[in-house]
Chain A
Amino acid sequence: MLTLIVLLPLLGFALNGVLATRLGNTLWAPAGGTPADEHDHGHGHGPAVHLGHKLVALIGCGLPLLSFVLVLQMLGQLQTMGYAPIVETAYEWASVGDSRFEIAFYFDRLSAVMALIVTGVGSVIHVYSVGYMAHDRSFGRFFAYLNLFLFFMLLLVLGRSLLVLFVGWEGVGLASYLLIGFWFDDLANARAGKKAFVTNRIGDAGFLLGMFLLYQTLGTLDMDRINAAFAFTGSAAPAVGASLVGVLLFIGAMGKSAQIPLHVWLPDAMAGPTPVSALIHAATMVTAGVYLVARMSGIYMQAPEASMLIAWVGAGTAFFAASVALVQTDIKKVLAYSTLSQLGFMFIALGVGAYGVAIFHVVTHAFFKACLFLGAGSVIHALGGEQDVRKMGGLARRIPITFVTFAIATAAIAGLPPLAGFFSKDEILWFALASTRGGSVWLWGVATLTALMTAFYMFRLLWLTFIVPSHMEPKVEHHVHESPLSMTGVLMLLALLSSVGGFLHLPHFLQPLLPLPAVDPHLHHLEKPLIVLAVLVALAGLAAAVYVYGAPASRAQALQARFAGIHRWLSGKYFVDELYEAAIGRPLVWVSDRVFLRLGDRRLIDGALNGMAALGQRCAALLSRVQTGQLHLYAWLVLIGMIATVLWSWRHV
């Protein structure tokens, strides 16, 4: 059954990838291409594309939905079995000596939550894409890639061993690359895809090293066994530093989940179609790092140093990204930095040992961030591709459904009760302060400040897009329209989930698997006041945004002029890309060009070969002087040779 869940999207990929792409066109055209047909659809694509649109959508959305239903059924089965993990071995992949590598799937509370999010949110985003991509030339290719992504993501969350997880890990990277560069005829998109891929490779190197180390010391890559091995302390403890393994695996998580310093790819990844940003770069793939750390919590429980690193990297990323998001003007870039920031929150939770809370935030974030991205997609759709918030405004009445759902999701991410984001974020803040596994006032302070900025920039975005007087160009304003039902329906569903998702109380559900850390007893009395404070912080962000952007534009401009220096830093994204370019990119290019290309390749290798050839040529030129072509000279030489031979033989014989 688990195998089937994983394989269904792969089937979708195979069907759509073969039949609904240009490859399929060439296969179908001879069969259905009567002359009359070709006359009707004479725009370069054969009848298969038009015939296939509905079929493609049915395959592309139906199979993930089927997976979702199967996951639900598996969850029921898990419940009846008292939540004992279900293990299903698909087949034995390789057997070397005593080592056996199995493709096995593992289904417990954590996998169930992740699989539900992946297939559930994934499916609704598929449905949304039917409307969003309706006019795209590569409709079939898009759904093929999306299904491929789901396949790998399910492999990632359901795999029992790190090996299977890694295959999924790399696979989602591939799907992400393909989808970022989906409109690859624009060079910038192709470049963004490449950047994401390369940045992820750096993280993967750390992940691989961690895997090697684990396999060498423990002889297994099954994650439940690894956790069990690390649970032993004393003499039976594994002969490897948990912190070392933890840090190595975390490097992998940093790449996938875009934490500092490997965060640079995520904002650029917004080059892909908006449903892709929602699905891959907000709701699911980027949370793979969080899932990995939570899944390997057995290691991190023994690794306080690694956990501290995680918490601070998370806090740094959260703060950094939130501050950049304050000044971005591209609607998707704001959301991208917001995603970075929320991922930072999740890592704070992981770092202080509140693994269940981190997963809780993964889930609520999947709801409201998917809703935000899809809402942004709806706005972009309505405006015919415009993404600059300075050229929007006044959309609240023109596209009301999008506005209402976007507003609900904004309130959710800002942490206003009783919406989803409030519950998960509040718990993160609480454990950042009170956890006995590394909670501290500083961590809490940074997180709270970030929460304030989050509320501010999200409401700024809401105001600029929907409420301030229109700055749209007349041509654009003319054809603003609400999106079709397949899109607005999904928005409403996600908005609903964003409102009630907080009541799921996942940490409690995950408690047997991922126990919450103990809380400092001296801080117990602060729990209630801190909840009030968190709400006040969110409201303060809202108030500040309304104060600045609800007024005439001069107020925002005055603020910008007042802090011109900071504004430049923030809108330049702290110049991290430029720093990498100067510190890594350019030296690499210099070394490649000067040392490897000019010295190594051209001078040493080419030089040696060309030199030998030239030497041979020069010797030959010297010898060829003898060949004058004059027969008499040859005759003379023969004569001299004969005389010399005779004389020589006279002497010696």
Chain B
Amino acid sequence: MLLALAVALFAIGLLGVIVRRNVLVMLMCMELMLNGVNLSLVTFAQQTGTTVGAVLVFLTFVVATAEIALAIPIVLLLVRRKHTLDLSTYNELNG
């Protein structure tokens, strides 16, 4: 049951990243995916009766925090350049 919830969270997050154009929404969806993974980790830890999974969750939290701390300033800089959050307008790197 919890596993199914984790998969659902992950799938919704992935769909959001792919479909939405708004940077902030995409970041939020990525958090959703991350949380889906965390949930699955905890679930497995409980099922197997070990603590390894639970410990790994803390590691993921730290990484996620660092990631957001970097991502938000990047978004800020992007917005300063073009005054929009729409990612499809940022295509300067096309070949």
Contact = CB atoms under 8 A, between A and B. Distances in A.
B86 to A, nearest CB: 11
B18 A629 contact: no
Interface stretch (B1-9, B54-62, B87-95): B87-95
Interface stretch (A148-156, A289-297, A370-378, A630-638): A630-638
A466 B21 CA distance: 106
B14 A639 contact: yes
B14 A630 contact: no
A639 B33 CA distance: 13
B8 to A, nearest CB: 17
Contacts of A623: 95
B87 A631 contact: yes
B95 A631 contact: no
B94 A631 contact: no
B95 A639 contact: no
B90 A631 contact: yes
A629 B90 contact: yes
A629 B91 contact: yes
A235 interface: no
B95 A632 contact: no
Given A632-B18, A632-B21, A626 B88 contact: no
B17 interface: yes
Contacts of B14: 639
Contacts of A639: 14, 18
A635 B95 contact: no
Contacts of A621: 95
Contacts of A632: 18, 21, 87-88
A630 B91 contact: yes
A217 interface: no
Contacts of A624: 95
Contacts of B21: 632
Given A630-B88, A631-B87, A631-B90, A636 B95 contact: no
A629 B92 contact: yes
Nearest to B87: A631
Contacts of B18: 632, 635-636, 639
A649 interface: no
Contacts of A626: 95
Given A628-B91, A629-B93, 11 more contacts: A623-B95, A624-B95, A626-B95, A628-B95, A629-B90, A629-B95, A631-B87, A632-B18, A632-B21, A632-B87, A635-B18
Interface of A: 621, 623-632, 635-636, 639
Interface of B: 14, 17-18, 21, 87-88, 90-95
- In the A-B complex, list the 6 residue pairs whose CB atoms are closest, starting with the nearest: A624-B95, A629-B91, A629-B94, A627-B95, A629-B93, A628-B94
30 contacts: A621-B95, A623-B95, A624-B95, A625-B95, A626-B95, A627-B93, A627-B94, A627-B95, A628-B91, A628-B94, A628-B95, A629-B90, A629-B91, A629-B92, A629-B93, A629-B94, A630-B88, A630-B91, A631-B87, A631-B88, A631-B90, A632-B18, A632-B21, A632-B87, A632-B88, A635-B17, A635-B18, A636-B18, A639-B14, A639-B18
